[in-house]
Amino acid sequence: MSENSAEIKVKLKPQQERFCREYVLNGGKQKEAAIAAGYSKKTASVQASRLLTNVNILSRVHAIQIEELKKLSVTPESVIMKFLEIYDRCMQAKPVMEWDYSEHKMIETGEYAFDSKGAINALTKIGDYLAMFKQNVNVNGELSVSKLEDLL
Protein backbone atom coordinates (compact mmCIF):
# COMPACT_ATOMS: atom_id res chain seq x y z
CA MET A 1 0.00 0.00 0.00
CA SER A 2 1.15 3.49 -0.68
CA GLU A 3 1.25 6.34 1.77
CA ASN A 4 -1.88 7.74 0.09
CA SER A 5 -3.84 4.69 1.27
CA ALA A 6 -3.37 5.95 4.83
CA GLU A 7 -5.59 8.89 3.95
CA ILE A 8 -8.50 6.65 2.94
CA LYS A 9 -10.92 6.57 5.84
CA VAL A 10 -12.56 3.19 6.35
CA LYS A 11 -15.84 3.29 8.28
CA LEU A 12 -15.50 0.89 11.19
CA LYS A 13 -17.57 0.31 14.29
CA PRO A 14 -16.10 2.07 17.36
CA GLN A 15 -15.04 -1.27 18.89
CA GLN A 16 -13.28 -2.27 15.67
CA GLU A 17 -11.50 1.10 15.50
CA ARG A 18 -10.36 0.67 19.10
CA PHE A 19 -9.09 -2.82 18.30
CA CYS A 20 -7.06 -1.43 15.39
CA ARG A 21 -5.48 1.26 17.56
CA GLU A 22 -4.79 -1.13 20.45
CA TYR A 23 -3.32 -3.69 18.04
CA VAL A 24 -0.82 -1.14 16.69
CA LEU A 25 -0.02 0.38 20.08
CA ASN A 26 0.39 -3.06 21.73
CA GLY A 27 2.95 -4.13 19.16
CA GLY A 28 0.68 -6.60 17.39
CA LYS A 29 -0.50 -8.52 20.44
CA GLN A 30 -3.83 -9.74 19.12
CA LYS A 31 -5.53 -11.06 22.24
CA GLU A 32 -4.53 -8.07 24.39
CA ALA A 33 -5.80 -5.66 21.73
CA ALA A 34 -9.15 -7.45 21.56
CA ILE A 35 -9.55 -7.36 25.34
CA ALA A 36 -8.58 -3.66 25.49
CA ALA A 37 -11.15 -2.97 22.75
CA GLY A 38 -13.87 -4.52 24.89
CA TYR A 39 -14.16 -8.02 23.49
CA SER A 40 -14.73 -10.90 25.93
CA LYS A 41 -11.59 -12.39 27.51
CA LYS A 42 -12.93 -15.87 26.70
CA THR A 43 -13.24 -15.19 22.99
CA ALA A 44 -10.57 -12.51 22.55
CA SER A 45 -8.16 -14.75 20.61
CA VAL A 46 -10.87 -15.92 18.21
CA GLN A 47 -12.24 -12.39 17.76
CA ALA A 48 -8.76 -11.00 17.09
CA SER A 49 -8.02 -13.66 14.48
CA ARG A 50 -11.38 -13.01 12.83
CA LEU A 51 -10.84 -9.24 12.83
CA LEU A 52 -7.40 -9.57 11.29
CA THR A 53 -8.83 -11.42 8.28
CA ASN A 54 -11.07 -8.42 7.47
CA VAL A 55 -9.62 -6.29 4.65
CA ASN A 56 -11.05 -3.09 6.15
CA ILE A 57 -9.47 -3.85 9.54
CA LEU A 58 -6.10 -4.60 7.93
CA SER A 59 -6.31 -1.42 5.89
CA ARG A 60 -7.05 0.63 9.00
CA VAL A 61 -4.22 -1.05 10.95
CA HIS A 62 -1.84 -0.17 8.13
CA ALA A 63 -3.09 3.44 8.07
CA ILE A 64 -2.58 3.75 11.84
CA GLN A 65 0.93 2.30 11.52
CA ILE A 66 1.75 4.95 8.91
CA GLU A 67 0.31 7.67 11.17
CA GLU A 68 2.52 6.49 14.04
CA LEU A 69 5.62 6.33 11.85
CA LYS A 70 4.98 9.85 10.59
CA LYS A 71 4.80 11.07 14.20
CA LEU A 72 8.28 9.65 14.71
CA SER A 73 9.52 10.99 11.37
CA VAL A 74 10.48 7.46 10.37
CA THR A 75 10.77 7.00 6.62
CA PRO A 76 12.42 4.29 4.54
CA GLU A 77 15.15 6.82 3.76
CA SER A 78 15.78 7.58 7.44
CA VAL A 79 16.01 3.87 8.23
CA ILE A 80 18.51 3.33 5.41
CA MET A 81 20.55 6.29 6.67
CA LYS A 82 20.64 4.73 10.17
CA PHE A 83 21.80 1.42 8.69
CA LEU A 84 24.56 3.31 6.85
CA GLU A 85 25.60 4.99 10.11
CA ILE A 86 25.69 1.59 11.82
CA TYR A 87 27.78 0.19 8.97
CA ASP A 88 30.24 3.11 9.21
CA ARG A 89 30.59 2.66 12.98
CA CYS A 90 31.08 -1.09 12.65
CA MET A 91 33.82 -0.57 10.05
CA GLN A 92 35.85 1.73 12.31
CA ALA A 93 39.00 -0.04 13.44
CA LYS A 94 39.29 -0.30 17.19
CA PRO A 95 42.50 -1.26 18.97
CA VAL A 96 42.55 -4.73 20.49
CA MET A 97 43.26 -4.44 24.20
CA GLU A 98 44.74 -6.98 26.60
CA TRP A 99 45.56 -6.96 30.29
CA ASP A 100 49.18 -6.20 31.14
CA TYR A 101 49.93 -7.94 34.43
CA SER A 102 53.09 -5.96 35.07
CA GLU A 103 51.42 -2.54 34.59
CA HIS A 104 48.03 -3.69 35.98
CA LYS A 105 46.05 -2.10 33.17
CA MET A 106 44.73 -2.71 29.68
CA ILE A 107 47.15 -1.92 26.85
CA GLU A 108 46.93 -1.94 23.08
CA THR A 109 48.30 -5.04 21.36
CA GLY A 110 49.07 -3.24 18.11
CA GLU A 111 46.25 -5.13 16.38
CA TYR A 112 42.95 -3.65 15.29
CA ALA A 113 39.50 -5.16 14.92
CA PHE A 114 36.12 -4.10 13.60
CA ASP A 115 32.57 -5.38 14.08
CA SER A 116 32.19 -7.51 10.96
CA LYS A 117 28.89 -9.06 12.08
CA GLY A 118 27.31 -5.65 12.64
CA ALA A 119 28.62 -4.38 9.30
CA ILE A 120 27.32 -7.42 7.42
CA ASN A 121 23.94 -7.18 9.17
CA ALA A 122 23.57 -3.49 8.23
CA LEU A 123 24.56 -4.16 4.60
CA THR A 124 22.18 -7.12 4.44
CA LYS A 125 19.27 -5.00 5.65
CA ILE A 126 20.06 -2.33 3.06
CA GLY A 127 20.43 -4.96 0.33
CA ASP A 128 17.14 -6.59 1.32
CA TYR A 129 15.33 -3.25 1.16
CA LEU A 130 16.79 -2.55 -2.28
CA ALA A 131 15.92 -6.12 -3.39
CA MET A 132 19.54 -6.74 -4.32
CA PHE A 133 19.49 -10.38 -3.24
CA LYS A 134 16.48 -11.59 -5.22
CA GLN A 135 16.12 -15.28 -5.73
CA ASN A 136 15.01 -16.47 -9.13
CA VAL A 137 13.03 -19.67 -9.64
CA ASN A 138 13.11 -21.14 -13.11
CA VAL A 139 10.35 -23.25 -14.67
CA ASN A 140 12.14 -26.47 -13.71
CA GLY A 141 11.73 -25.54 -10.05
CA GLU A 142 15.45 -25.04 -9.45
CA LEU A 143 16.46 -22.16 -7.21
CA SER A 144 19.31 -19.88 -8.21
CA VAL A 145 20.62 -16.75 -6.51
CA SER A 146 21.55 -13.79 -8.71
CA LYS A 147 25.31 -13.42 -9.09
CA LEU A 148 27.10 -10.43 -7.60
CA GLU A 149 28.36 -9.47 -11.07
CA ASP A 150 24.72 -9.21 -12.27
CA LEU A 151 23.93 -6.86 -9.41
CA LEU A 152 26.86 -4.59 -10.14
Q: Which residues pair with 108 in a beta bridge?
A: 97
Each residue's pLDDT tens digit, 72-87 = 887 888 889 999 999 9
State residue 2's pLDDT score: 45
Of 20, 52, 71, the position where a domain reaches its end is 71
What's the domain range around 149?
A: 75-152
Same domain, 152 and 83: yes
The residues, any chain, with a CB within 8 Å of residue 60's CB and separated by 6 or more, are: 10, 12, 16, 17, 20
Query: pTM to 2 decimals?
Result: 0.50
Report how many domains make up the chain. 2
- Mean pLDDT of the 34-53 span: 94
Same domain, 9 and 39: yes
Share of the chain above pLDDT 70, in %: 82
- Mean pLDDT of the 54-62 span: 93
State residue 135's pLDDT score: 67
For the chain, give the mean pLDDT: 84
Q: Give me the CATH number covering residue 33.
A: 1.10.10.1400
Residue 50 has pLDDT above 90, yes or no: yes
Reduced to 3 states (helix: H, G, I; strand: E, B; else coil), residue 99 is strand
Same domain, 102 and 123: yes
d(CA 88, CA 4): 34
Q: Residue 140 — pLDDT band, cuts 50, 70, 90? A: low
Residue 6 has pLDDT above 50, yes or no: no
Same domain, 12 and 81: no
